[in-house]
Amino acid sequence: MKRLSLLFVVALAACSKHPIVVGSKNFTESDILGELVAQKLEASRCAVDRRLHMGGSLICDAAIAAGSLDAYVEYSGTALTAILHQPAMTDRAAVDRTVTASYARRGLRWGPNLGFNNTFAMIVRRDYAQQHGLRAISDLRKVQSEVRLGFGYEFVERPDGWPGLVGRYHLNVAAPPKTMDLGLTYKALAAGEIDLIAGNSTDGLIDSLGLVALADDLHYFPPYDAAVVARNDIDRKCSGASAALASLANTIDDATMRRLNYEVDGKKRDVAEVVKEFLRR
């Protein structure tokens, strides 16, 4: 009987130790960063429940607001416009201030910044860019009567996506964009089915598929600095959690992120393995 009650107490103690739930959005970089946060927490002896590759920013935000997620990596520009519904701003410090304050009011902690800016990138094939003399987004006016567009659903709908870009650059593209799964746009671009996609500046596939990103010469896209978002009460689940997350500050620059993405997308390596290797350095 005594042994049984002891077993009961032990079981109860195990149950009360809820794991920290770490999420990510549905693309490679977000999976890598989710795995990075997870492994960093595990190194501080926190139990982690991974919920990676969830359906986009707004799903992750709804989940963390509801308490189903404890942490995930978000981008400042996305938080500002898509989640907080604020007008886009190009001043990096102002974006950080606004987002930090707004998240604090929602019981969420913004930061630390991981150290890189993954802004939107308008991407074309290198041969297409050379053939038509495209260097910057303004140059798209040269091809607006014939360029074929393919975008993910989020980019077409977001106010800081295609609709706003058309206005800022005074583009008048003849054909409406084909909307499709974001991951398939690269394949379709490389296969020559479309000519212009909206990717991310840290995508590892840009170099490996022979593509180029057009310069945002009018500074349309707001900064998209990657930062860890965590619930304020995360330390209640594991006392070392906040310190573990803080140690990630400024550990990844743009080039490092592109390289990590390429390890997974280009070399088809396992995300957990790539992250483990990165943390070992």
Partner 1 sequence: MMTANIARATGEHVMIVAIAVVIAIAIGVPLGVWAARRARAGGAALRVVDAIQTIPSLALFGFLIPIPFIGGIGMRTAIVALILYSLLPVVRNTVTGIRGVEPSVREAGVAMGFTPRQLLLEVELPLAMPSIVAGIRIATVTAIGVATIAAAIGGGGLGTLIFRGVAMVDTRLIFAGALPAAALALIADAVMTMIERRLIR
Closest to partner 1 by CB, 23 vs 150, is: 150
Closest to partner 1 by CB, 65 vs 166, is: 65
Peptide bond into 112 cis (omega under 30): yes
Amino acid at 98: T
Give the shortest CB-1-to-partner 1 separation in angstroms.
52
Sequence-separated (6 or more) residues with CB below 8 Å from residue 92: 76, 223, 225
Give the shortest CB-196-to-partner 1 separation in angstroms.
13
Closest to partner 1 by CB, 55 vs 67, is: 55
Confirm if 238 and 41 have CB atoms less than 8 A apart.
yes
Give the shortest CB-82-to-partner 1 separation in angstroms.
9
Sequence-separated (6 or more) residues with CB below 8 Å from residue 242: 230, 234, 235
Closest to partner 1 by CB, 156 vs 272, is: 156
Contact residues for partner 1 (CB under 8 A)?
A: 55-56, 58-59, 62, 150, 152-154, 156-157, 178-181, 183-184, 187-188, 190-191, 193-194
Confirm if 36 and 279 have CB atoms less than 8 A apart.
yes
Closest to partner 1 by CB, 174 vs 249, is: 174
Give the shortest CB-267-to-partner 1 separation in angstroms.
17
How far CA 61 is from CA of 17, 58, 65, 144, in Å, comes to 24, 5, 6, 36
Amino acid at 11: A
Give the shortest CB-209-to-partner 1 separation in angstroms.
12
